[in-house]
Amino acid sequence: MFYGHDPVLQEIGPYTYAMIERKENIKYLEDGTLVSFRSNKTWAFDKQRSCTTCSCNDTVFLPNPLFMAVNYYKRTGRKTKLLKFILDLFFIAMKIQPIKEVSVCGVLLDSYEDPTLDFIHTSFYRKLKKMFNIQAPDFNEMGYFPRYNKTSDGDFLIKTGKDDIANIGQIVEWNNMTELPWHTSPEANTLAGSRDGINQKPGIGKSDKYEMFQPLACRKFSLSYSGHEGHVNGIPTLTFSFDGDNYDGVANPGYRYENLEKANYFPDWPCGPNHTVEITERCINVSCDVFENWCDKCCNGSFINGTWVLPPGIMALRCQPSRNIVLPVGLFLSTPHFLWSPESVQNSLKGLKPDPTMHHPGIFHLNSFSGHTVGANFRIQFNVPLYPNIGFVWNKLPTRIVPTVWSELDVEVLDYALDYFYFFVVVIQRAVFIMSIVLLVLSALLTIFLMYKMVSSRNNFTPAKGKQEVYSNNNCRL
């Protein structure tokens, strides 16, 4: 990589964690129409469900987020030559490299030590920042989910559905925010109408779509009926899956990455390696802001408004997972192995093997009657960018987006909750159905019995004595 060669990827694992989620600090507000809570999560490494050779202390080589944070700081905004020189010296003095060897559990949940991190927490470094007016990013912990264990996804305020059952589970606030602050359109930022992925409106059907907010990804996802029905532990379900444009910043500009570092991560997309630009008179009528025109000779591919747009299948991670803290570096989310990206993205690095069965971003099994999720599978990949340092050290790095870890979350309802849910959704429904059949049969039998009695009464009918005498007298006259 020092000479510009691309990294080669090798997938290992799985490293499995058991996670238990509990809602705490539950408070009902506004006459019971709202409820606030904190969703706490506890993770524990599960060696039995991990690969046979997997250990929490295994070491891996991954892109160094701290290196990229400093590099990102250098490349974005206006920096003096003196400041850039100081940052290059900082790279050398602290021996910061683009690739770092770390333990698996350290990079995931436990955090890991870094001499550079220790240095930037010293009073001497704070004095340097003040002296040179350095607005460099601060890191409290290192890792992808540092110290995430035994923490929460934040504080939620949601609707209970007391006033309108169709509103059950709708998010009103997350961490005291009604809107997210980091996306670039109101549609992408608003939380109104989205839910936490557990409760949807009762009676949800095949024609419905819904939005799920995932604090882990700092954004919403839209889901639609996949065309499959089934059962989870005897509970009838409809399967909903992620819409295909969830990771498409081209189709959804509100999620588009600004690319302030001006890095061309995928030069062959979307027009291939031989695209050329020829400006002629007809170009006056060609809008290069429209995706369909990007490969026209009047346009320069994905180079729009002074930077390169990321291809479909890759989105920016805007905050620290599940926390209202903006990331100090551009990191990215995608489907595992870039499954939903163009071939030029999937072929950009050796070791990528996208498989629709293994790498689909997720499905949710909903009980239509209650709208409750009784099982789910959610997959997401975290990626770190690489690009050259503008200076005299690490100035020949390749420009690539490198997958580092992809996570698969299997959601299972606890047994006691599942039994409770099965009783009310399946057993009681069956009991009500059977009782309705029994009542229907009884009502039919009762009707038949009453009709029989009426017919029997008519057949056994005896005329009154007075009427018989009149009849006889009339016969005599004739």
pLDDT in tens, 146-198: 767 777 888 999 999 999 999 999 999 999 999 999 999 999 999 999 998 88
Contact 362, 241 (CB under 8 A): yes
What band does 294 get if pLDDT is binned at 50, 70 and 90? Answer: very high
What band does 462 get if pLDDT is binned at 50, 70 and 90? Answer: low
Structure confidence by residue, pLDDT tens digits, 358-380: 999 999 999 998 888 999 999 99
Residue 463's φ and ψ, nearest 5 degrees, are: -65, 155
Strands of 145-269 (E only): list them: 151-159, 171-174, 209-214, 219-232, 235-242
Structure confidence by residue, pLDDT tens digits, 200-217: 999 999 999 999 999 989
Residues 45, 109: Cα–Cα separation, whole Å: 10
What band does 80 get if pLDDT is binned at 50, 70 and 90? Answer: confident
Residues 354, 357: Cα–Cα separation, whole Å: 9
What band does 223 get if pLDDT is binned at 50, 70 and 90? Answer: very high
Q: 395-399, 444-448, 450-454 — which one is most confidently predicted on average?
A: 395-399
- Helix, strand or coil for residue 328? strand
pLDDT at residue 470 tops 60: no
Residues 198, 103: Cα–Cα separation, whole Å: 33
